Amino acid sequence: MTSDQSVTAAILVIGDEILSGRTKDKNIGYIAEYLTAIGVDLKEVRVVPDVGDEIVTALNALRHRYTYVFTTGGIGPTHDDITADSVAKAFGVSIDYDPRAVELLKQRFQGPELNEARMRMTRIPAGADLVTNKVSLAPGFWIGNVIVMAGVPTIMQAMLDEVGPKLKTGRKMLSESVRADLKEGDIGTELGIVALAHPEVSIGSYPFFDDKLGPNTNVVVRARDADKLAAAKAAVEDMLAKVRTKLAAGQETK
Amino acid sequence: MTSDQSVTAAILVIGDEILSGRTKDKNIGYIAEYLTAIGVDLKEVRVVPDVGDEIVTALNALRHRYTYVFTTGGIGPTHDDITADSVAKAFGVSIDYDPRAVELLKQRFQGPELNEARMRMTRIPAGADLVTNKVSLAPGFWIGNVIVMAGVPTIMQAMLDEVGPKLKTGRKMLSESVRADLKEGDIGTELGIVALAHPEVSIGSYPFFDDKLGPNTNVVVRARDADKLAAAKAAVEDMLAKVRTKLAAGQETK
């Protein structure tokens, strides 16, 4: 469902292992790119430890502010997996073994294999829909505007593919990148003037090191309206050409 | 300076490009590992867009709660680099061209090269110390308990090396990893019992896919006290051996 209103989102990454540096997060960048592509604006990310109160506080702050909150991590079979319980607490609902989730797990685990630890993964807050995935059978879930996903990237990605088509989306943010072939410090003032003249277009400047030319800059122009985007891009290109000419003239007179 | 008190930190990542997914953050994991190694506990991370009010709100929330806040991004020469101004606003202090920063930039840029855009990088909030770095000459700064660093990883890393030795640090968190050679769901309940018996030790469980054995698990045991760490690690190893024996016996009787 596409709307003209902007649709916003936050990510809540849950896990001591990210904060200790032991595990390097790979989900934020993936979800960011995914949401941008479908027309959902990611507005904020938080990373919190496996501490119930921290999860509840962050989740309540985010879910009241954005259209969607995506959480990653903490839905496995061990004692430090407390996301489902924390989400239930944040929403003030009960949590229990969910027959639909139990059925899913029974497809892989039989008899003593479906032990207490694995049953922990079937605890789902009351009123939530399951988010299934084809990589592991243990589901995530969707309650209110909060989508709870696994931390393991392959599983998270499968869950995102599952919920993606069901999300409200806004007009897609269109984006064009222009390679400046100039240093960022050479175009800063002029780029600011272009940005002021195109208030509905977001213009960002990203320095990078070019193996041939040395310090270089990508200018990224973003807007929902294709005409406004094109006008801003043309203005950036025109400005860059002028700065290049000016600098080349300066070098000749040296 | 090492203290027995725990020393805490948060990271505030500033930048539209992270939230759009265009740039994949590489700083969170690096800073997390760095802080853990020197005895500073990273407790929270937030990513916010290049929007002044968002930066001010997040910075004020974090700086009153943790020993240190490290920011990355938004201190370059273009119009979207608004971190220094936002930090000044959060602290309620003025901001101006800083003679020390101007001197640094003059080492690289002369005459017309030291233009308005590059001068923007010398704007430093009143009362801040500069954080120099050997990669670029444009400095970060340190004000109160907030350390403001570049977003470009090589520059950020050089700045972190500069401030690292000056940070208060707590007792280092010690860590041991035990490879379970068991699936996470096979050890969840037993691991929870070990965790309850070792309340001053943090025990985490991280599934991974082993090319030879398939689904496998690393159990990570963390504590500041070496004896308590060793005791918990031994308890984990003992538990793992028992579960392996039990599962092997179960398979034989099938």
**Residue A66 near residue A44, CB atoms below 8 Å:** yes
Q: Distance between CA A167 and CA A149 in Å, rounded? A: 15
Partner-chain residue, chosen from B30, B78, B204, that has the shortest CB–CB distance to A192: B78
**Six-digit token string for A97:** 């073994």
- Mean pLDDT in chain A? 94
Residue with tokens 């393991």: A152
Give the amino acid at A39. Answer: G
What distance in Å separates residue B104's CA from the closest CA in chain A? Answer: 15
Q: Which two tokens stand for residue B102?
A: 């101007």
Alpha carbon distance B150, B242 (integer Å): 50
Q: What is the pLDDT of residue B253?
A: 58
Task: Flag if A17 and B121 touch (Cβ within 8 Å).
Answer: no
What does the block give as tokens for A236? Answer: 């950036």
Give chain B positions within 8 Å (CB) of A74: none
Query: What is the arithmetic mean of pLDDT over A128-151?
Result: 95
For chain B, what is the mean pLDDT?
94
Report chain B residues whose CB lies below 8 A from the CB of A115: 185-186, 188-189
Q: What percent of chain B has pLDDT over 70?
A: 97
pLDDT at site A213: 81
Please state, in angstroms and rounded to a whole number, the distance separating the CA atoms of residues B64 and A202: 32
DSSP letters for A141-189:
EEETTEEEE-SSHHHHHHHHHHHGGGS-B-SPPEEEEEE-SS-HHHHHH
In A, minimum Cα distance to B37 occurs at: A20
Tokens found for residue A104: 């899913």
In the block, tokens 């018996």 appear at B197
Secondary structure of chain B as H, E, C letters: CECCCCCEEEEEEECHHHHCCCCCCCHHHHHHHHHHHHCCEEEEEEEECCCHHHHHHHHHHHHCCCCEEEEECCCCCCCCCCHHHHHHHHHCCCEEECHHHHHHHHCCCCHHHCCHHHHHCCEEECCCEEECCCCCCCCEEEECCEEEECCCHHHHHHHHHHHHHHCCECCCCEEEEEECCCCHHHHHHHHHHHHHHCCCCEEEEEEEEECCCEEEEEEEEEECCHHHHHHHHHHHHHHHHHHHHHHHHHHHCC
| Chain B residues within an 8 Å CB radius of A191 | 78-79
For residue B251, what pLDDT is reported? Answer: 74
Give the other-Cβ count within 10 Å of A141's Cβ: 25
Predicted local distance difference test score (pLDDT) of residue B1: 53
Which residues sit opposite B83 in a β-bridge?
none
pLDDT for res A54: 98
pLDDT at residue A252 in the model: 64
Nearest to B222 by CA among B172, B169, B168: B172
Q: Is the pLDDT of residue B194 over 90?
A: yes
Of B25, B188, B250, the CB nearest to A28: B25
pLDDT at B252 over 80: no
Q: So what's the pLDDT on residue B136?
A: 85
Mean pLDDT of B78-97: 97
Q: Which residues of B touch A76 (CB under 8 A)?
A: 184, 188, 205, 207
Confidence of residue A196 (pLDDT cuts 50, 70, 90): very high
* Residue range B35-55, pLDDT digits in tens: 999 999 999 999 999 999 999
φ/ψ of residue A211, rounded to 5: -60, -30
Token pair in block for residue B34: 């760095």
pLDDT band at residue B191 using 50, 70 and 90 as cut-offs = very high
Which of B11, B13, B22 is best to mutate for the A interface (most A CBs within 10 A)?
A: B22
Q: What is the pLDDT of residue A53?
A: 98
Residue A212 pLDDT class (50, 70, 90 cuts): confident
- Are B19 and A32 an interchain contact pair (Cβ–Cβ within 8 Å)? yes
Using DSSP, state whether A122 is helix, strand or coil: coil
* pLDDT digit string, tens, across residues A6-24: 899 999 999 999 999 999 9
pLDDT digits 0-9 by tens, B8-42: 999 999 999 999 999 999 999 999 999 999 999 99
AA letter at A205: S
Residue pair A115/A105 in contact (Cβ under 8 Å)? The answer is no
- Averaged pLDDT for residues A216-230: 96
Distance CA B142, CA B217 (A): 41
For residues A223 and B20, give the distance between their C-alpha atoms in angstroms, rounded to a whole number.
12
> Rounded to whole angstroms, how far apart are CA atoms A153 and A47?
16
Closest among A162, A167, A159, A1 to A68, alpha carbons compared: A167
Judged by CB atoms closer than 8 Å, whether chains meet at B184 and A48 is answered as no
Distance CA B204, CA B218 (A): 8
> Whole-angstrom Cα distance, residue B87 to residue A10?
23
Tell me the per-residue pLDDT of B54-77, one tens digit each, with 9 for 90 and over.
999 999 999 999 999 999 999 999
Helix (H) or strand (E) holding A116: helix A116-120
Give yes or no for residue A49 having a pLDDT over 60. yes
Whether residues B76 and A34 touch (CB distance < 8 A) is answered with: no
The reply to whether ipTM tops 0.85 is yes
The closest CB to that of B76, out of A32, A80, A207, belongs to A207
Q: Which residue, chain included where needed, has tokens 């400047």?
A: A205
Sign of CA dihedral B127, B128, B132, B136: negative
Domains and CATH numbers, chain A: 8-166 (3.40.980.10), 174-252 (3.30.70.600)
Instruction: Give the span between the Cα atoms of A205 and A219, in whole angstroms.
Output: 5
Locate the chain A residue with the closest alpha carbon to B32.
A21
- As a whole number of angstroms, the distance between CA B155 and CA B157 comes to 5
Tokens 């009241």, located at residue: A64
pLDDT tens digits, A87-112:
999 999 999 999 999 999 999 998 88
DSSP string, A29-87: HHHHHHHHHHT-EEEEEEEE-S-HHHHHHHHHHHHTTSSEEEEES--SSSTT--HHHHH
Among the partner-chain residues B36, B79, B204, the one whose CB lies closest to the CB of A21 is B36
Q: What is the pLDDT of residue A4?
A: 58
Distance from CA of A29 to the nearest CA of B (A): 5
* CB within 8 Å: B32 and A21: yes
Question: Dihedral of the CA atoms A178, A182, A186, A192 (nearest 10)?
Answer: 0
> Are residues B17 and A188, on separate chains, in Cβ contact within 8 Å?
no
Measured between alpha carbons, how far is B20 from A94 in angstroms, rounded to an integer? 35
Q: What is the mean pLDDT of residues A42-58?
A: 98
A79/B192 CB distance under 8 A: yes
Min Cα–Cα distance to chain B from A55, Å: 11
- B203, B240 contact by CB (below 8 A): no
